[in-house]
C-alpha cells in the first residue's frame, strides 16, 4: 500500500522538475532571441554566425530560400550600409513574441517593427516573423526564418 501512495508523489515531482526545466529553457531561448535581435540591429555578423545553425534556412517574401553562407554575406553588406550611414535605424524591436516549446526545439513568432532612414529616405516597416530554434548542447540557435511584410503598419 505504501508504494501506491508514493507513486502520485513521484509523478508530481517528475512533472514539477520537467516544468522547471521547460521554464528555464524558455527563459534561455527568450534571451537568445533578444541577443539575436540586438546583433541583427547592429549588424554584428560574428555574433549572428554563432547564433544560427550550420544548416540555417532563411526565406522571405522577396527571395528564394537560401542558406547560412548566403545570409551571412547579406549581413556583411547590410553592416557596410550601417557603417556608411546609408542605413540608420531609430527603432528595431520585436513585439508580440510567442514561443511554442517542443523539448529541444521551439517555434517562435512575433512582429518586427523597424523605423529609420535608408538612402536619406524615412521608413517604417512592420513584418510578421516565424523562426525555428533548436537547442543543442544547452545553446539555442536559430535554424530557420520566414517573414511577411505587413502592408499597412499602424501609425
Q: How far are the Cα atoms of 9, 29, 105 from residue 59, in angstroms, in the given order?
A: 47, 21, 19
pLDDT by residue (tens digit) across 82-117?
Answer: 999 999 999 999 999 999 999 899 999 999 999 999
- pLDDT at residue 147 is higher than 60: yes
Secondary structure of residue 25 in the 3-state scheme: helix
- pLDDT at residue 8 is higher than 50: no
Q: Which residues contact 110 (CB under 8 A, 6 or more apart)?
A: 94, 95, 96, 97, 98, 128, 129
Closest CA to 105 of 17, 26, 16, 20: 26
pLDDT at position 9: 44
pLDDT by residue (tens digit) across 12-59?
Answer: 444 343 444 466 789 999 999 999 999 999 999 999 999 999 999 999
Strands 139-149 and 52-60: parallel
Structural domain boundaries of the chain?
A: 2-149
Taking only Cα atoms into account, the Rg of the chain, rounded to an integer number of angstroms, comes to: 20
pLDDT at position 155: 58
- What integer is the mean pLDDT of 62-75? 94
* Cell numbers representing residue 76 in the block: 556583411
Worst-scoring range by mean pLDDT, 18-22, 63-67, 120-124, 130-134?
18-22
CATH fold label, 2-149? Nuclear Transport Factor 2; Chain: A, (3.10.450)
* Cell numbers representing residue 147 in the block: 517573414
Count the helices and strands in the chain (H runs, E runs): 3, 6
- pLDDT at residue 146 is higher than 90: yes
- What integer is the mean pLDDT of 47-72? 94
Amino acid at each position: 500500500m505504501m508504494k501506491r501512495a508514493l507513486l502520485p508523489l513521484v509523478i508530481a515531482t517528475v512533472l514539477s522538475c520537467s516544468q522547471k526545466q521547460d521554464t528555464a529553457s524558455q527563459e534561455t531561448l527568450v534571451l537568445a532571441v533578444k541577443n539575436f535581435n540586438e546583433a541583427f540591429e547592429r549588424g554584428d555578423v560574428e555574433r549572428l554566425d554563432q547564433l544560427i545553425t550550420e544548416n540555417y534556412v532563411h526565406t522571405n517574401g522577396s527571395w528564394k530560400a537560401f542558406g547560412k553562407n548566403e545570409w551571412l554575406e547579406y549581413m556583411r553588406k547590410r553592416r557596410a550600409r550601417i557603417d556608411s550611414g546609408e542605413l540608420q535605424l531609430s527603432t528595431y524591436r520585436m513585439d508580440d513574441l510567442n514561443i511554442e516549446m517542443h523539448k529541444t526545439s521551439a517555434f517562435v513568432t512575433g512582429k518586427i517593427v523597424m523605423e529609420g532612414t535608408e538612402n536619406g529616405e524615412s521608413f517604417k516597416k512592420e513584418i510578421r516573423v516565424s523562426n525555428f530554434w533548436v537547442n543543442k548542447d544547452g545553446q539555442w540557435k536559430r535554424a530557420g526564418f520566414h517573414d511577411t511584410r505587413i502592408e499597412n503598419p499602424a501609425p
